[in-house]
Copies of this chain bind each other. A is one copy, B any other.
Amino acid sequence: MRSLDQLSSLIHYLRETENLQSAAALLSWDQETYMPPDGGAARAEQLATLQGMAHERMISEQLQTLLSQSIDLATGDPLPGEQWDPAARGLLREIWRDYQKAKKLPTDFVMRFEKEASLSQQVWVQARAKSDFSIFGPHLQTLVGLKREEATYLQYKGSPYNALLDDYEPGASVEGITPLFSSLRAQLVPLLERIRRSRRGAKARLRGPFDEERQLDFGRMILDRMGFNFREGRLDLSAHPFTTQFHPSDVRLTTRVSRKDPGDAIFSCLHEGGHGLYDQGLPKEYYGTPLGEPVSLGIHESQSRLWENCVGRSRDFWSYFFPKLKKQFPGPLRGVDLDLFYRSINRVRPSLIRVDADELTYNLHIMLRYDLERGMIDEGVDIGRLPALWNDGMERYLGIRPRSDRDGVLQDVHWSIGAIGYFPTYTLGNLYAVQLFRQAHCEIPGLSRKIERGSLSGLKKWLNEKIHRWGRLYSAAELIEQVTHEPLNPGHFMRYLEEKFGEVYRL
């Protein structure tokens, strides 16, 4: 049986490629956190160079030679007569997949795209500040053109959008997502209706000001409790919270802080902390290979949503942490008790901004974006009509209409960086999260009570064990089935919502 030891030259090669990509990730992180305002044009060139070189390495003859020593390049199967152990077999399968895909993309295209994405993002920042889609529109047009070009190179099946989806959620397709979303929507909308009719509910709004430094301290304390290792990571501020990693020993989270509402920082920290635990939990010994990479964005998002929502918006969690929060902010929280606080962080109601949305309506925001992305990619929708289509969609799905581009079509960064096909993974993440959390409750004795006592390490270890350490050895579908003993089942998510909001709103 052949093992990873026999792949050391290949692994060395992949690791050097990953070093380039890690450098690019640091350049992007810096762009969002510390880069001076006028450094952007040079940064775009630098990113394009690094991504271009990384791509060249992914399609090089050298890689082809290394691969051909172990697999049949036409099929990806092991050479006849050779037996590989599961880890080596998984590595070869996945790297062959990456290689096949990379080979379809011309380097010139990769560099053009990278540069355009870096510049568009900067234009989007300005357009958003001025709440004027027309500034950003031409750039989005270019990016959509590039993404369609990409889909053509990648030789999609079904619709061009499938090629893009596959980048973020390998194995996902329009054929699976569309009915999943329809059926989910058919259940979410009536539940939302029942909640809206409820007289009870969660009307409490917290009143600030909440000191920013104290909020950050509180966020760091939660992250520490979650088991996020600050010797191998850090927390910074950025306009939009995100997580990035350059190695499992260097994972960067960002958050934002609002003086009015401590929820911004708290839930960002929980959310990004969930991503961060995944990144820190990836096996260091496989850095640079598929076995050291997250399996899909849907699974990644399941980790963030599990911590943010299943844990972080639970009564268990706040039984322990609310007294601490109150100690930090005695003034603004005077007269607020645990129950009031719990209901205030679990208010369900249609709102304009995705990242501020509750657990239920969040998914309707995703469905709107999915529709529009399919429109842009598969149906050639005129980009100029996007603001109107957005607003109409909001009205149709959520019953409210944005009054500005800023609170509408310009709110998310994704399209500006060319991340089209990414949004559906958020809802997949929500579904996976609940399914995994349910399983954790089955397997970790007294999990509720542990969380109630502020002890989160058991859950973290369970996730390390069940999800993080496998890298891409199993596909997302395989992993979910392996851990929860059934395929993705949105029923768990719906039952979770029914139960939780049934109690909050006494439905």
Contact = CB atoms under 8 A, between A and B. Distances in A.
Q: Summarize A's interface: helix, strand, loop or mixed.
A: helix
B232 A36 contact: yes
Interface residues of A, number: 39
Interface string A305-335: 0000000000000000000000000000000
Interface string A372-416: 000000000000000000000000000000000000000000000
A222 interface: no
A128 interface: no
Contact of A250 (B16, B35, B50, B53): B35
Contacts of A22: 42, 46
Interface string A32-46: 001111110111011
A287 B42 contact: yes
A42 B231 CA distance: 13
Contact of A23 (B16, B23, B230): B23
Nearest to A30: B26
A475 interface: no
B232 A39 contact: yes
Given A27-B26, A39-B247, A247-B42, A16 B231 contact: no
A68 interface: no
Nearest to A15: B45
Nearest to A22: B46
A69 to B, nearest CB: 22
Interface of A: 15-16, 19-20, 22-24, 26-27, 30, 34-39, 41-43, 45-46, 48-50, 52-53, 229-234, 236, 246-247, 249-251, 287
Given A19-B46, A36-B233, A42-B246, 13 more contacts: A19-B45, A23-B24, A26-B26, A30-B30, A34-B234, A36-B230, A36-B234, A38-B229, A38-B231, A39-B249, A42-B250, A43-B250, A46-B246
